[in-house]
Amino acid sequence: MGFLEAEGVTRRFGGLAAVDDLSFEVREGEILGIIGPNGAGKTTLLNLISALLPVTAGAIQLRGRPITGLAPHEVAHLGVARTFQIVKPLKGLSVRENVAVGAMFGQSDGGRPTRPALAKADQEDAAAGAGRFHGKLPDRQSGSRHQASPPGPPIPSPSSPSRTASA
């Protein structure tokens, strides 16, 4: 039995079958990539596995247990982690709380409750230079992070001679 199995998985958007009758099996410990041209259905498949979207047809199983029909948080609690191409903070939360949210999930023991997760965020804050997260909202923090970055070598603009010469 596969660790993660899909059988006849289909997702339609109106008349468009973004994922059409897809079956595959991933064994435990196996690392696989999914490739295909733009619009091939890669993101849609990841959305189906992580339950952000419901399947139109077919079934997905994790360790032999059907996960189609579960809510995204239920699938996450079973151990399916998902990252996004564009990482966005939870804007209503402080930077400290955003880091704590990251510490709450993805633990083999089912995750940290709020207080230990906040303690982990404080640990990370101390490692990054104490007090940098505290009370700050993500937008302001990302601005100050740019200001705090040490100056690096100048990045040539697309029109600069060195870039043009090497293109």
Per CB under 6 A, residues contacting ligand ATP are 13, 16, 18, 36, 38-44
In terms of DSSP bridges, do strands 16-26 and 57-62 run parallel, antiparallel, or are they unpaired? Answer: unpaired
Closer CB to ligand ATP, 36 or 153, in the complex: 36
3-state secondary structure at position 139: helix
Residue 76 CB, nearest distance to ligand ATP (Å)?
20
Closer CB to ligand ATP, 18 or 100, in the complex: 18
Residue 42 CB, nearest distance to ligand ATP (Å)?
3
d(CA 78, CA 69) in angstroms, rounded, equals 13
Closer CB to ligand ATP, 16 or 148, in the complex: 16
Residue 45 CB, nearest distance to Mg ion (Å)?
9
Closer CB to ligand ATP, 34 or 128, in the complex: 34
What own/partner pairs with CB < 8 Å and gap ≥ 24 does 37-42 have?
A: 41/11
Residue 44 CB, nearest distance to ligand ATP (Å)?
3
User: Out of ligand ATP, Mg ion, none, which partner does residue 114 contact, by CB within 5 to 8 A per kind?
Assistant: none
Burial of 60 (C-beta count, 10 Å sphere; 0-12/13-18/19+) = buried
Sheet holding 65-66, edge to edge: 16-26, 4-13, 57-62, 65-66
